[in-house]
Amino acid sequence: MPGISDSKCVLVTGATAGIGRALSLAIADLPSSPTVIAAGRRQGRLEELAKSNLATVQVDVDTDKHALKKFVDDILLKYPDLDTIILCAGVQHEFDFQKQVDLDKLTSEININYISVVSLISLFLPHFLKLADRPCFIVTVTSGIGIVPAPHVLNYSASKAALHSFSTSLQVQLRATNVHVLEIIPP
């Protein structure tokens, strides 16, 4: 069965910290030497990743659909061999609904953790389906908190639960294609 180690070109969002950073560096070290594109918000951290021979691109996924489309178009123009996306960008905020809730922060969290991921998948998927002669991978990063919610991060829990449900459904929808949907569920 094909795996990510067979990928030619991998885009990792949220690559400037945490799981995204670790995956970017680990994939770059695979014996197959795929091109790894580390995408994230923090330019200084991207410059550090570039020292590890990763391609880098600055992007803030908390944006509108037109900016995401431009990002995808630019990536596919520069990296037509892209066959894997690992969507790690995420944010977690604590909310106490017994007090005033910052609705901008609440909306941003849903946008980053769910809407941007689904948007990026829908924008990259036509490209992957055209590569019918080889396997492609969509990897989402959800959370155990999306399965067993945590009251102090209830919006984060809800966003990851939505992404878990979407990922599971997309996996079934695409099962007869060359596109494999994988979900990473950290605790």
Q: What is the pLDDT of residue 2?
A: 81
Greatest alpha-carbon pair distance for the chain in Å reads 54
pLDDT of 79 over the 90 cut: yes
Q: How does pLDDT run across 105-164, given as a tens digit for each residue?
A: 999 999 999 999 999 999 999 999 999 999 999 999 999 999 999 999 999 999 999 999
* Strands lying side by side in the sheet with 136-141: 55-58, 35-40, 9-13, 84-87, 136-141, 179-184
CA separation, residue 7 to residues 44, 54, 159, 168, 171 (Å) = 27, 15, 28, 22, 18
Please give the average per-residue pLDDT across 70-79, as a whole number. Answer: 99
Q: What's the gap between Cα 184 and its chain centre?
A: 11
Beta bridge partners of 87: 13, 140
Residue 1 has pLDDT above 80, yes or no: no
How much is the pLDDT for 21? Answer: 98
Beta strands, E only, the chain: 9-13, 35-40, 55-58, 84-87, 136-141, 179-184
Q: Catalytic positions, please? A: 156
| Superfamily for the 4-103+123-154+171-184 domain | NAD(P)-binding Rossmann-like Domain (3.40.50.720)
b/e sequence 93-119, b meaning 16+ C-beta within 10 Å: eebeeeeeeeeeebeebbbbbbbbbbb
Q: What is the value of pTM for the model shown?
A: 0.96
Note the pLDDT of residue 63.
Answer: 86
Proportion of the chain above pLDDT 90, given as a percent: 97
Is the confidence at residue 103, as pLDDT, over 80? yes
Token reading at 150: 């945590």
Res 8 pLDDT > 90: yes
Look at strands 84-87 and 136-141 and give their pairing: parallel
- Closest among 71, 59, 54 to 10, alpha carbons compared: 54
Across residues 36-63, what is the average pLDDT? 96
CA 137 – CA 59 distance, rounded (Å): 21
Beta bridge mates, 40: 58
% the chain with pLDDT above 70? 100
* Mean pLDDT value of segment 15-40: 97
Given this model, what pLDDT does residue 167 score? Answer: 99
